[in-house]
Amino acid sequence: MTTGCNRLHLSVVGDRVGWIWRDNHRIEPLASLCHSSRYTGSAAFTTFGSFPPSDTRRPSAFPQICDSSLDIEPLKSTMCDPFFEMDSESGADEPPNKRPSQMFFSLDDMLTLDMSVVADYPLTPTTYQQNLCLDATIEDRATLSDDDEEDEAKTANICIHASKAVTISQEAGQRGPKGSEELNFPYNTRPITEDYTVSEEIIGVGESGKVMACYDKNDGTKYALKVLRDGPKARREVHLHYLVCNHKNVVSIMDIYENTFGGVKCLLVVMEFAEGGDLLGRFEQQGSKPYPEEKVSEIMTEIGAAVMYLHDMNIAHRDIKLENILCTSKNDEECVYKLGDFGFAKRPERNHLMESPCCTPFYAPPEVLSRERYDKSCDMWSLGVAIYILLSGYPPFYSYHGKPLSPGMQERIKSGLYAFPNEDWDCIKDTTKDEIRHLLITDPSNRTSIYNFMKSSFITGRPSMCIPSNGSDSGLSEAESPLPPLILDGSDDEQPLSIRMPVSRKTEATMSARTFVKPVTKAPRLHSIQEEVNWALDVMRLGGQDYTETFMDTAGSSLFNRRTAWHQ
C-alpha cells in the first residue's frame, strides 16, 4: 500500500527542529532528543493529506500515504538541525532501516517533500495539508541496567510535526496574492455554500466581525465560520492559524474558502465549533466569581501547552485573553480549552523583534504600550493578566474611570504596579502569586518564559483549593497587599475614584478598546451575491445588531462593589 519515499526532509517552521510529544503531552524541542544518546528506536514517517469534510472520498482517518522507517540511534548533536533529511530508496516492503543520511541547517527553507510519493496513492487527497509527522517509539536505554536487559525497554512515544507552507488549492494552480508567497494554506475556491449551509446564528462577536454557525451539508455537523476580508493581514491570520491548528489546544481549522461576494474577495475559515463558547463568557455567566486555583491551573496547563507549541514554532499569538480561549464543552469535566483568534499572531524573523502595536489594553505588556520592540514574551504577560483575572474577577491593571486605557493605567502597567488585595487573594497560594509576579515582570527579558512557566508549581503542582479566611488573617506580608499607588498623571485619573470593572464585553464592543493601541479600520460592508450567505455576511462585517453595554457596576457585581468600596 505504500509508495517508497525518495527523499524526505523534515524541517520546522521557525528555529526548532520539531516538536516532541510525549505521552504527557509536554512538548520538547527535538534538540533535546538529538543531544541525548539515551534514545534508540525506530520511526515511521507518514505524510498526510487532508480531505475537506465535503469530500465524499474522505476516509475516516487521514490516509497514510508514505511509510518508511529509520533508526535514530544515536542522533548525534551534530545532527540537531532544523532539517532532517532521509534517503530512503525503498518503500515499506523493504524499510531503509538506516540512519538519516544527514541533517543540516537551513533556517530559511521550509519543509521539502517530494510530492511524487503520494501521486499514485488511490486516495490522494485533493487538498494537501502537507504536514509531516514522525511517529516513533523510543527505547530509553539509559534507564536499563545490565540486569534489566531482559526487561522490556521503557518506551516513549514521540511525534514530530512539521508543516509545509505551500498553497495547493482544490482547483490546481491557485496561489496567494502577489507578495504573499509565504502566507500559504490550502483553500477551496468553489462557493462555500456547496459544502456548508451558512446559518444566521451568531456564535460570537469580535473586532473583525461576527463568527457565524454553519453546517456540513453531508452530515449536519455544526462548525464556526469566520469571514475575513482577503488581504495580507487576513492571510497572515489564516496562515499562522493553519500552521498550528493541529495542536489539541488550538481551535482546529476544517476548511478554508476563498470566495468573492459583490466583488470583495473573502477568506472563509470553517473551524471546529467550541460548544462552551469563550472563557470570558463562561466566567461572566457565573458572575465573574473567581475560579479556584485548581481550575485556573488546569486551564493554563492546556493553554500553556498551546502557547509553548506556538513559541516553539516562533509564533507569537499577541492577543491572549479570555475571549480568545474557547471551551469545547459546557461541561467542565469534558471541556478542552483551546486558543483561537490568530488575528494578531506573528512570526518574527529570527532574532528580530516585533514592533507593531497589538493586544487588548488590559492584557498589553509595557513594551507594547511603550511602542518598544518586543518578542514572544508579550504572550507571557497576557497569560499573567488572564490568570490574575480568573483568580480574582478583576484585572491587575485598569483605568479607575472605566476607560479602556488611561494614562494612569498605562503608567501602572509600565511600572508594574498592581496589588494582591488581601480580601480577594488571601487564600491564594504564595507560589501562585509568585508565578503571576514572574509573568508580570515589566522587563521582557526577565519575564518568565513559557518553558519555565510550564515547569512551575502552578502548572505541575496543581495548587489545592483553599477556604477564604474572610480577610481577617491574610497570612500575607504587608508587601503582598498594598493599595495600588494612585498615579495622578493625567486628567483622566485625577478625577474622584469610581471604578468600572473593565472585564466586560463593553470594551470589545463600543469602547473599541484596541483603538488605543491599534487603530482599527472597519471593513466596508460586503455584499453577498449568494442568497444563502447574504444576511450572514452583512451582519458579520458591519455588526447588524446593537450591543448591549454591560457595566460591571450596574450589573450588581459584588466583587465590583467590594473593589469600589476598597478604593474609595
Ligand X SMILES: Nc1ncnc2c1ncn2[C@@H]1O[C@H](COP(=O)(O)OP(=O)(O)OP(=O)(O)O)[C@@H](O)[C@H]1O
Q: Which is nearer to ligand X, 341 or 435 (CB)?
A: 341
Question: Footprint of ligand X on residues 317-336 (CB under 6 A)?
Answer: 323-324, 326
Q: How far is the CB of 446 from ligand X (least distance, A)?
A: 28
Tell me which residues in 155-194 interact with ligand X (CB under 6 A): none
Q: Does 312 bind ligand X (CB under 6 A)?
A: no
* Residue 79 or 359 having the CB closest to ligand X: 359
On whether 429 is known to bind a ligand per the annotation, the reply is no
Within 8 A by CB and 6+ apart from 172, the residues are: none
| CB contact set of 356 (below 8 Å; sequence gap of 6+) | 346, 518
Specify the residue, 342 or 458, whose C-beta has the smaller distance to ligand X.
Answer: 342
> Contact letters (x/-) for ligand X, 451-490, by CB under 6 A?
----------------------------------------
Determine contact, residues 164/110, Cβ cutoff 8 Å. Answer: yes
Please identify every residue annotated as catalytic.
Answer: 319
User: Of 272 and 493, which has the nearer Cβ to ligand X?
Assistant: 272
Containing H/E element for 506? helix 505-508
Q: Is 299 in the site for ligand X (CB under 6 A)?
A: no
The one segment of 30-38, 270-278, 375-383, 543-551 that binds ligand X by CB under 6 A? 270-278
Q: d(Cα 88, Cα 75) in Å, to the nearest integer?
A: 17
Would you say 79 or 386 has its CB closer to ligand X?
386
| Residues touching ligand X, count (CB under 6 A) | 24
Q: Are 492 and 406 in contact (CB under 8 A)?
A: yes
Residue with cell 505541575: 460
315 binds ligand X, rule: CB under 6 A: no
Q: In 3D, which of 178, 176, 141 has the Cα closest to residue 156?
A: 141
Residues 6+ apart with CB under 8 A from 346: 236, 240, 315, 316, 318, 354, 356, 358
- Reduced to 3 states, what is the DSSP secondary structure of residue 413? helix
Closer to ligand X by CB, 329 or 558: give it. Answer: 329
Q: Is 432 exposed, middle or buried (0-12, 13-18, 19+ CB in 10 A)?
A: buried
Q: What are phi and psi of 375, to 5 degrees?
A: -130, -160
If binding is defined by CB under 6 A, does position 277 make contact with ligand X?
yes
CB of 346 to ligand X, least distance (A): 14
Considering the rule CB under 6 A, would residue 340 count as an interface residue with ligand X? yes
Q: Is 268 in the site for ligand X (CB under 6 A)?
A: no
Name the amino acid, one letter, at 530.
Q
Pull the grid cell for residue 394.
478583576
8: nearest Cα among 102, 124, 94: 102
Task: List the one residue from 226, 239, 376, 518 that touches ligand X (CB under 6 A).
Answer: 226
Instruction: Say if residues 11 and 82 touch (Cβ distance below 8 Å).
Output: yes
Residue 404 found at the interface with ligand X (CB under 6 A): no
Question: Quick check: helix, strand or coil at residue 295?
Answer: helix
Q: Out of 134, 244, 251, 335, point to the residue binding ligand X (CB under 6 A).
A: 251
- Tell which residue, 278, 293, 258, 394, has the closest CA to residue 337: 278
Provide the 3-class DSSP secondary structure of residue 133. Answer: strand
Q: Does 343 bind ligand X (CB under 6 A)?
A: yes
Residue 274 found at the interface with ligand X (CB under 6 A): yes
What backbone torsions phi and psi does residue 155 show, to the nearest 5 degrees?
-125, 155
CB of 236 to ligand X, least distance (A): 13
Task: Give the shortest CB-280-to-ligand X separation in angstroms.
Answer: 7
Could you say which DSSP state residue 291 is in? P
Please, what is the minimum distance in Å from the beta carbon of residue 259 to ligand X?
18
Q: Are 399 and 493 in contact (CB under 8 A)?
A: yes
Find, among 108, 111, 88, 106, the residue nearest to 98 by Cα: 88
Distance, first Cα to last Cα, the chain: 74
For ligand X, which residue of 5, 203, 339, 354 counts as binding (CB under 6 A)?
203
Could you tell me the smallest distance in angstroms from the CB atom of residue 499 to ligand X? 24
DSSP structural state of residue 3: B
> Among the candidate windows 10-18, 38-46, 176-184, 271-279, which touches ligand X by CB under 6 A?
271-279
Closer to ligand X by CB, 16 or 210: give it: 210
- 107: helix, coil or strand? coil
Does residue 224 touch ligand X according to CB under 6 A?
Answer: yes
CB of 388 to ligand X, least distance (A): 19
Q: Which of 126, 130, 163, 208 binds ligand X (CB under 6 A)?
A: 208
* Choice from 207, 255, 379, 426 touching ligand X (CB under 6 A): 207
The single residue among 81, 278, 379, 426 that binds ligand X, judged by CB under 6 A, is: 278
* Cα–Cα distance, 198 to 192 (Å, whole number): 8
Smallest distance, ligand X to C-beta of residue 275, A: 7
Give the residue numbers of the binding site: 226
Residues near ligand X, by CB under 6 A? 203-209, 211, 224, 226, 251, 271-274, 277-278, 323-324, 326, 340-341, 343, 508
